[in-house]
A and B are shown apart, each in its own frame.
Chain A
Amino acid sequence: MNFLTTAALLDACVLAALKNEDAYGYLLTQKVSDVIQVSESALYPVLRRLQKGHLLETYDQPFNGRNRRYYRITQSGRKLLEQYRNDWRDCKTKLDFILEGTSDHE
C-alpha cells in the first residue's frame, strides 16, 4: 500500500502492533514495514516520540546474554489507539463512498 503513509497512521500502526503483545524494536519494525510502505529507519523516531508522549513505555529483558528493549503500550496509548480506530473507520467509510461508490449511511 503506497498512498497512506502519514505520521498519524504510522503512530496508529505502531500502537496497534503493540496492542496484544510487547515487542522489541527490530521485531516491531518488521511487523509495521510489512504492512505499510515505510523505511525501516522511520520507526525509531516514531517510537521515541510515542515514548516521550507516555503512550509507550520500555523495559529491558536479557536475551542470549545481551539486552532486549521491549516496548509496551500504556493506558493513554490504548485510549489514543481507540480514537485512531474511530477516525480510521470514519475515513474508510468516506473513501469507500468516493472510490467504490458504496456507502453504509444511505
Chain B
Amino acid sequence: MNKNEFMQRLRKRLARLPHDEYNDAVEYYEQYFAEAEDEQVAIRQLGSPDAVAAKILADYADTPTDNTDWKKLWIVICAIFAAPIALPVAIALVVTIVSLGVSLLAVSFSVMAAGVVVFISGIAATLLSFFFIAESIPTMLLLMGCGLVCTSIGLIMIYSTVWLVKKCVLGSIKLVGNLLRRSSAK
C-alpha cells in the first residue's frame, strides 16, 4: 500500500463526517505524509486506514457539538405537540395566552382613558387658575402648578400605554409569524 491508496481508503471511510470535520482530518493526514521522510514507515506506524478512520469517527461521535442540545430540545417540543394527548393542552395554552393578551389590552386602555381624563382636568385647572389672578396670586399659582403637573402626568400615561400596546401587538404578530414559519418548514 502506498500513500495514495492509504488516503483514498481513508477518504472513503470518513465520507459520512460533516464537511469541516472531513476536511480537517484529510488535511491533517495529507500533511502528515508530506512531513514523514519514509512513506512506508509512516503507514506502518499509523496502521490500517480503516483503523485510523475508526478512531476519528469514534471520537467524533463522542464529542457533543454546540447545537445538539438545542436540536434535541426542539425535537422534544415537537414530539410533545405531535402527540394526540397534547392537542387539548395546546388549545388550553393558546386560549390562556390569548386571554392574557386581551386582559393586558383592556388594562392598557383603561389606563389610557384615565390618562386622558387626568390630562383634560389638568388643562382645565390651568385655565381656571387665571380667574384667580385678581383675587389671590398664591392660589392662582398653586392651581396653575397642580394643573400643569396633572397635564404632564396625563401625557405620560397616554404615551406609555400607547407604546406598550404597540410593542405587545408587534411582538405577538412576530411570534405568531415565527411559529407559523417553523411549523410549515418542518
Whether A39 pairs with B47 at a CB distance below 8 angstroms is yes
Q: Say which residue of A29, A33, A42, A48 sits within 8 Å of B25 (CB atoms).
A: A48
On whether the beta carbons of A69 and B59 are closer than 8 Å, the reply is: no
Give the interface SS of chain B, mostly helix, strand, loop or mixed: helix
* Contact among A29, A33, A42, A68 with B55 in the assembled complex (CB-CB below 8 Å): A42
| CB pair A49 B51 closer than 8 Å | no
Complex contacts, B24 vs chain A, CB 8 Å: 48
Task: Identify the stretch in A19-27, A75-83, A84-92, A95-103 within 8 Å (CB) of chain B at 4 or more residues.
Answer: A19-27
CA separation between A67 and B52, bound complex, in Å?
22
By beta carbon, the residue of chain A nearest B24 is A48
B-side contacts of A49, CB under 8 Å = 59, 63
Contact of B29 among A39, A44, A48 (CB under 8 A): A44
Distance between A33 CB and nearest chain B CB, rounded to angstroms? 8
Residues of chain B touching chain A, judged by Cβ–Cβ distance below 8 Å, are 21, 24-25, 27-29, 31-32, 34-36, 42, 45-47, 51-52, 55-56, 58-60, 63
Given contacts A26-B32, A44-B56, 7 further A-B contacts (CB under 8 A): A41-B55, A45-B59, A45-B60, A49-B59, A49-B63, A66-B34, A68-B31
